[in-house]
Each structure stands twice: as structure tokens, then as C-alpha cells.
Amino acid sequence: MSTSYETINPFTTSDEHQAFRATVRDFIARETTREMDRELDATGEFPYELAKKMAEAGFYGIPFPAEYGGQDGSALEFAILCDELAYGSESAAACFLMPVFFAGEMVLLNGSEEQKREYLPRIIAGDLRGCFALTEPDAGSDAAAITTKAELDGDEFVLNGHKTLISGVDIADVIMCVCRTGPREPKPYSNMTILMVDRRAPGVEFRKIEKVGSRAVGLFEIFFDGVRVPKERTIGGYPEGVGSGWAHMWMSLDMERIMVATLYSAIARKAFDDALEHAKNREQFGQPIGRFQAIQHQLANMKIKVDAAGLMAYRAAWLKDEGLPCSMEGAEAKTFATETALQVCLDGMQVLGGWGYTMEYDMQRYARAAMLGPIGMGTNHIQKTIVAKLLGLF
């Protein structure tokens, strides 16, 4: 069964977009199964084989320019990829988003030319994975409160500090670590710098934190104890990149919000499709439960939200491609899609009745994945504050 979403999405009706969507769908159908997603969620293992195949299929190169080995994809193509991966397979989405997108986008937008040439081809080929370490025990939403410190000693920085709630550390080759290279003045975000730290370097230790959902990519805290990082590994190069960490993080926010919005609208779409199928097939009182108006209205409400979330996500991507401002639309889309995904999954559990609460159906897995949306990648409270700021309210 299909919602035929692409037929009503005005942003991706071109032959090229449709062909690309079909390519990603074919890959998902060929290389992934629901059983694989269930198993990886249960074991918390990363799908290395699948990751390799995705790199070979060229998907890792979509958001990156051809001169670095990428596919020169547009924001809309990137959105299609995120949408189809997240709809098709939680494992496939996990392979791409954390280890490839976050590290690659950071290098693309902020790296020196030398760093782009060194790292992007390896990321695109699937030979290098990264993770992004900003959050600390006392610095979550207040990101400028970080205290992890890097001090120059000869040609190397010496890094000390504690990061927490960091995704994918065990599978990363490089930790993009946001740290302080000077005092927190004149502004709270002054003197922040991003260093590319070798995850296997002496002095790097990490501990797994068990989490509720999306378990194929693990969650960790990291301890840096006198870790030596060559100064050339400053994002943006040395000395140019020193103190530019805050600006560097802002650079990638638009694409990040487009990505998150597309991803969670796809989770909502998947949950809706499963619920719809169940409502058509499950019979009670001698008829499919979808004949009862209570279920019909619940599904109609789910469908309305799923469509709106997808359209908002693609609108933000379209604006980006047109070179128009999209920060507000991206924040709106992230907020709406993540709230929608959670609500649609919970509604889906209701439609499935008792089976919705069991581990034998996938609705609980989607719901567990959806729970992260409103919290991660800038909480929705913070997204709403951004919208309010862009509306000129403060």
C-alpha cells in the first residue's frame, strides 16, 4: 500500500526528482527488511554492510559538490533521500544521517580547502565516519556554556573535558568536538572552536548510555583527558578557524532542520500507512474497524498532519534551493514534523489496539524513534524561540 505522497508533493514532480525517488526506493526494497530494522534496534548494532552499500550506490555523495567526489545534489534531492530512507528503513537512515551528514556538512561549510579535499572524498566513499560533540553535562540548550577546554602546546592543542549525550561515538573515526580556546567573553559564545579529534587517540574514553529508540546508532558520554590534537585539525584551518566555532555551528542549521523535518515527516507517514492498513484489515463487530467513524476521523487527522509536515519540510528545502531565507521555515518544519511524528505514532498505537502496545508490531518502534524529535537537534522550545526571534518579538 502507498500514500502516493510524491504525486501530491508539488516540490518534487520533475522527472529527475521522481527518478531519484524511485532509485532510493529500489535500493531500500533490495537491501533492507523490516526484520533487519527490528534486529538492529534490539541489538543496538550499526549496519556496517548496509552503510558500505549505500556509499557504493552514491547516496553519501548527494549533499556534496562533484569536485570532492559528491553528486552535486540540491536541497530537494537531499530531502527526497532523507524522506525515502527514513520511510523505508530506520537502519538505512541511521547509516547516513549521523556519521555522514553531520561530519560532512561541517567540513563542507566550514572546512579549509585542504580539509575539504582530505576528508570529503573519504566520507563520501564511506571510509570515514564522524560524530558531533557539543552537549555537556551543564551545557545542553545553553550551548555557549560549554567548558571543554583546548590549550595550545607547541603545534598541538591539549584537550580536556566531558561531553554527554553524543550519538555514534563508537562508529566514528573523527569526533567534531566543540571546545573553548579562550575566555567566555566579550560574548558567551566567544572563543569557541571545533577540533577534529581522532576517536582512537590516547586520552579519549567513552561510555555507552542506553536509550529508548533509534538504537542502531548508540549514545555516549566522552571524556577527554589531555588529548593531543594537531592544530591543523581545527575546523576552518589554523589559525583561521580558532574562535569561529559558534559561527560554524550556525552555518549548518538550515540543512539540519530540513533533514530532521523530512526524516520525522517520513516516520509519521510510515506510522500512518501501517495504521491505515490495519484499519482496513482488522475486523470487529463483523466489519473492518476502519468503518467506524471514530477510527476514520482519527486516521483523517493523522493524514492531514502527515501531509502538512511533509509539505513544510519540502517547502524549506525548496526555499534553500532558490537561495531564499529558510531559517524560520526550517524551524517551523522541524517543530511541526517532530510533534506530528510523535502524535501520529501514538494515534497509530491506538488504532492497532492491544497489538500496538506489543513488540510484535513496529508501531512502538516508530513511537520510540519519534520521541527523540522534539528533544534532539535543538529542542522544539528552542525552535519556537528562534521563530519568535525571526518574527521580531525580541
Ligand X SMILES: Cc1cc2nc3c(=O)[nH]c(=O)nc-3n(C[C@H](O)[C@H](O)[C@H](O)COP(=O)(O)OP(=O)(O)OC[C@H]3O[C@@H](n4cnc5c(N)ncnc54)[C@H](O)[C@@H]3O)c2cc1C
Do residues 16 and 74 lie in contact, with contact meaning Cβ atoms separated by under 8 Å? Answer: no
Query: What does DSSP assign to residue 379?
Result: -
Among 300, 311, 373, CA closest to 339: 373
* Residue 156: strand, helix, or coil: strand
Nearer to ligand X, 311 or 370 (CB): 370
Of 167 and 327, the one with the shorter C-beta distance to ligand X is 167
Taking the complex as a whole, how short is the minimal distance between the CB of residue 164 and ligand X, in angstroms? 8
Shortest distance in whole angstroms from residue 30 CB to ligand X? 29
To the nearest whole angstrom, how small is the minimum distance from the Cβ of residue 377 to ligand X? 6
Task: Compute the least distance from the CB of residue 374 to ligand X, in Å.
Answer: 8
- Record the cell numbers describing residue 97, joined without a space: 544521517
Question: Rounded to whole angstroms, how far apart are CA atoms 116 and 120?
Answer: 5
CB nearer to ligand X: pick between 188 and 353: 188
User: Which residues contact ligand X by CB under 6 A?
Assistant: 131-135, 140-141, 165-167, 211, 219, 372, 375-376, 379, 381-382, 385
Q: Is the peptide bond before 186 cis (omega within 30 degrees of 0)?
A: yes
CB of 298 to ligand X, least distance (A): 27
Judged by beta carbon, residue 92 or residue 216, the one nearer ligand X is: 216
CB-wise, 289 or 369, nearer to ligand X?
369
Residues 124 and 59: their CA atoms lie apart, in Å, by 8
Nearer to ligand X, 167 or 298 (CB): 167
CA distance 200 to 5: 44
Instruction: Take residue 340 and report the three cell numbers written for it.
Output: 506530528
Whole-number minimum distance, CB 102 to ligand X, in Å? 7
Where are the strands (E) in 21-148, listed by range? 130-133
Residue at shortest CB range from ligand X: 140
Tell me which residue of 150, 321, 304, 134 sits closest to 229, measured CA to CA. 150
CB 111 within 8 A of CB 119: yes
